[in-house]
Amino acid sequence: MMSLEFHRAIHDDVTNAYLWYENQEDELGEAFLRELDEAFITIAAMPYAWPLMEPGLRKFVLKRFPYAVIFSIRETCI
């Protein structure tokens, strides 16, 4: 399984989405975080399974929430 490194902007993006979902419905923000964590685990386990959206960038679309994880694969990390 490859290790993950995150872009510096991810913290603000995830926090804002979490807070928005929590304001819509109790525990919805937590459900968003769980699905995002599952996406990270899946991507780390099978990074080449997800389609290229442009050269060097792949896209994993969340099932329940209208978000996607955009990532690149490097020699030692994603």
Segments making up each domain of the chain, as ranges: 10-71
Q: How confident is the model at residue 76 (pLDDT cuts 50, 70, 90)?
A: confident
pLDDT at residue 1 tops 90: no
CA 10, 11, 12, 15 torsion-angle sign = positive
Residue 55 CB contacts under 8 Å (≥ 6 apart), including other chains: none
- List beta partners, residue 60: 69
pLDDT in tens, 11-28: 999 999 999 999 999 999
Q: Tell me how far apart the alpha carbons of residues 41 and 22 are, in angstroms, rounded to a whole number.
A: 23
Instruction: Please give the model's pTM, rounded to 2 decimal places.
Output: 0.91
Q: Which residue has the tokens 């020699």?
A: 75
Share of the chain above pLDDT 70, in %: 100
Number of H helices, E strands in the chain: 2, 3
pLDDT at residue 36 tops 90: yes
